[in-house]
């Protein structure tokens, strides 16, 4: 990552805008003054109204600046459930209202995953952000057992989504999945934490799969930055984010041709 803070809002903002803005220095920061790649796409006639975000952490309404961008952001407990009227949505809305909130700012990944599935069945977006949040909470609590369990569960959620895409003729071999994290975690005993003073938390990983992504295997020793993700998201749609945001880093070199 280019940002030095090594925590969530700066990390996601770097991921979505392609550059480090030093004024974004807290997780409580106001709605993002910078335009994200999602906002830009939502103002493009080919994508307008077809961009959405689901996340367990309640800060994404600010990070994506839902008010200005017009991107519907379903996040946290209070705004997590989309106002769809089908039976499954009604049940999930009730669970969001009545589940005991282990963390006030972060809902459970399992519930959000079901909301994502409903979103796909009800109004399939062309661009969808999904923010899983549990692993960070369990790590901060020192619960390595639940941290691993939660991480493994995210693998299964991604597998579930990918299988759905590949089983549906409308989406088969048409979806690109980009996976990354907002920050790393400390080395050794500092694994529970991250932040400016925590060594190791500046290292993140990312993965990609899709019809235009080269099968490059595991890439090591090829320096890349979190800031490259914004242009990569656009490039997966054949678009050039840097034409709109010249400060943004270049797309990751993962595409065929
Ligand atoms: Zn954290």
- Mean pLDDT score across all residues of the chain: 97
CA 49 – ligand 1 centroid, Å: 31
Euclidean distance between CA atoms 191 and 139, whole angstroms: 7
Radius of gyration of the chain (CA): 18
pLDDT band at residue 212, thresholds of 50, 70 and 90? very high
CA 156 – ligand 1 centroid, Å: 22
Q: Look at residue 33 in the predicted model and tell me its pLDDT.
A: 98
Residue 65 zone, left/alpha/beta (φ > 0; ψ -120 to 50; rest):
left
3-state helix, strand, coil in the chain (%, to 5): 40, 10, 50
Burial of 230 (0-12, 13-18, 19+ CB in 10 A): buried
CA 139 – ligand 1 centroid, Å: 8
> Crossing angle for the helix pair 144-167 and 109-122, nearest 10 degrees?
10
User: With 80 as the cut, is the pLDDT of residue 10 above it?
Assistant: yes
**Structure confidence by residue, pLDDT tens digits, 172-207:** 999 999 999 999 999 999 999 999 999 999 999 999
**Structure confidence by residue, pLDDT tens digits, 59-95:** 999 999 999 999 999 999 999 999 999 999 999 999 9
Residue among 208, 209, 183 at smallest CA distance from 196: 183
Q: Look at residue 179 in the predicted model and tell me its pLDDT.
A: 98
DSSP alpha helices (H): ranges in the chain?
Answer: 8-17, 37-42, 60-63, 66-69, 87-98, 109-122, 134-140, 144-167, 229-236
CA 5 – ligand 1 centroid, Å: 12
CATH fold of 8-243, please? Alkaline Phosphatase, subunit A (3.40.720)
User: With 90 as the cut, is the pLDDT of residue 221 above it?
Assistant: no
Domain boundaries, the chain: 8-243
> Is residue 13 within 8 Å of residue 206, measured between CB atoms?
no
CA 133 – ligand 1 centroid, Å: 9
């Amino acid at each position: 990552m280019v940002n030095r803070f090594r925590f969530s809002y700066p990390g996601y903002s770097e991921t979505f805008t392609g550059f480090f803005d030093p004024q974004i220095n807290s997780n409580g920061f106001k709605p993002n003054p910078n335009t994200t790649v999602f906002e830009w796409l939502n103002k493009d006639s080919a994508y307008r109204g077809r961009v959405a975000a689901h996340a367990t952490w309640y800060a994404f309404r600010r990070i994506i600046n839902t008010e200005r961008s017009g991107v519907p952001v379903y996040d946290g407990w209070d705004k997590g459930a989309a106002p769809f009227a089908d039976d499954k949505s009604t049940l999930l809305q009730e669970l969001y209202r009545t589940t005991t909130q282990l963390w006030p700012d972060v809902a459970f990944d399992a519930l959000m995953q079901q909301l994502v599935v409903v979103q796909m069945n009800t109004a399939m977006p062309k661009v969808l952000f999904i923010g899983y949040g549990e692993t960070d909470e369990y790590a901060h609590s020192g619960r390595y057992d639940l941290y691993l369990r939660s991480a493994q569960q995210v693998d299964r959620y991604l597998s579930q989504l990918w299988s759905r895409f590949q089983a549906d003729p409308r989406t088969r071999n048409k979806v690109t999945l980009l996976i990354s994290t907002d920050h790393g975690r400390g080395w050794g005993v500092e694994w529970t934490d991250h932040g400016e003073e925590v060594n190791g938390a500046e290292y993140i990983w990312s993965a990609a799969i899709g019809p235009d992504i080269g099968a490059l295997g595991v890439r090591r020793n090829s320096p890349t930055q979190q800031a490259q993700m914004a242009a990569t998201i656009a490039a997966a749609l054949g678009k050039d984010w840097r034409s709109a945001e010249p400060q943004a880093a270049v797309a990751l070199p993962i595409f065929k041709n």
